[in-house]
A and B are shown apart, each in its own frame.
Chain A
Amino acid sequence: MNWNSASEFFAMGGYGLYVWGAYGVTAAWMLAEPWLVRRRHARALRDVMERDESYE
């Protein structure tokens, strides 16, 4: 184990800002992108369904 406590882990030996700044943005993007694509897919599906209704 490298870390003696949770606070040590978050501090990263003084480099916390940089490490978490890098990892944080990456993680945030990797959550945002799938969510955005999901929304796009849902919108496309909705368009398909609406279109089908108008054919009645």
Chain B
Amino acid sequence: MKNLPRFFTFASPSRFYRAAGWAIPWIYAVAVLVSLAGLYLGFFVAPVDATQGNSYRIIFIHVPAAWMSMVLYLVMAFWAAIGWAFNARLASMVARSLAPTGAAFTFLALWTGAFWGKPTWGAWWVWDARLTSELILLFLYLGYMALVEAIDDTRRADQAGALLAVIGAVNVPIIYFSVRWWNTLHQGATISMTAAPKMANTMLLSMLLMTIAFWAYAFAVVFMRTRALVLERERDNEWVRALGVNNGSVA
């Protein structure tokens, strides 16, 4: 049974604080290096697209941002639920830290999508199924953040947020399906974002690398925010006060 306690060792805020503090610079380094590789492939190796010219290169950040926005929502709901079910403070803190980054990725997916759509299909915004679902996902994030910020009692806020996040996660497939139905029904504008260029291997590889880079970035930023949140919430604990004495450096 020796392995069991070690599995949960990082559920302790103080251990997490130290371990994450050590890891964050390395994670950033990974993010930077992988994105450099991905961008190099995307801009200097991948060829020009026959129909879309060079504007298609936006997908190297549009698709990873969209994927991250969806993944982070699920991860957020997961940790929030864990925090609620097991009374695990740190899990709830991680969930709260994920929200702004997830919302930002959603916004970036919409923004880059618009900048891709304009030269390709002539419109900054099209109400196609995926963009519309992404917009609703942004609303779900904003709703979560608004709810947790509005409740002063930390425990109630964490639990309410967890319930909302789980309800949202369950509803996302339903929402996506209904939006797709709605989109095919009103197929007046025959614009489809699924008409991405046929992907050469270099394009796919570049997108994959950028996804990894975004993922690493998300880890780093979320860990950073969680550490700040740990300090804010665990202020009265011995180990945090010891930090203060040591001028912020970890003993």
Contact = CB atoms under 8 A, between A and B. Distances in A.
A/B contact in complex, CB under 8 angstroms: yes
Interface of A: 1-3, 9, 12-15, 18-19, 21-23, 25-26, 29-30, 33-34, 37-38, 40-41, 44-45, 47-49, 51-52, 55
Nearest to A12: B54
Which of A9, A33, A34, A41 lies at the interface centre, i.e. has the most chain B CB atoms within 10 A of its CB? A41
A19 B235 contact: no
A49 B35 CA distance: 37
Query: Chain A at the B interface: mostly helix, strand, loop or mixed?
Result: helix
A44 B228 contact: yes
Query: Chain B at the A interface: mostly helix, strand, loop or mixed?
Result: helix
Interface in B80-104: 100-101, 104
A27 B27 CA distance: 17
Contacts of A15: 53-55, 119
Given A23-B61, A26-B61, A26-B112, A2 B43 contact: yes
Nearest to A2: B44
B60 to A, nearest CB: 9
B243 interface: yes
Which of A34, A38, A47 lies at the interface centre, i.e. has the most chain B CB atoms within 10 A of its CB? A34
The 8 A-B residue pairs with the shortest CB-CB distance, nearest first, are: A44-B231, A41-B228, A22-B115, A15-B55, A52-B244, A49-B244, A22-B112, A13-B54
Nearest to B61: A26
A15 B115 CA distance: 10
Contacts, number: 98
B231 A41 contact: yes
7 contacts: A2-B48, A19-B54, A23-B58, A26-B65, A34-B28, A40-B225, A55-B241
A12 B221 contact: no
Nearest to A39: B228
Nearest to B233: A44
Chain B interface residue bracket vs A: 35 or more
Contacts of B46: 2
Interface in B175-224: 217, 220-221, 224
Contacts of A19: 54-55, 57-58, 115
B47 interface: yes
Given A15-B53, A18-B115, A44 B58 contact: no
B53 A47 contact: no
Contact of A18 (B58, B61, B108, B221): B58
A49 to B, nearest CB: 4
A33 B219 CA distance: 13
B224 A48 contact: no
A13 B53 contact: yes
B58 A33 contact: no
Interface string B37-63: 000000111111000011101100110
Contact of B44 (A3, A14, A29, A49): A3
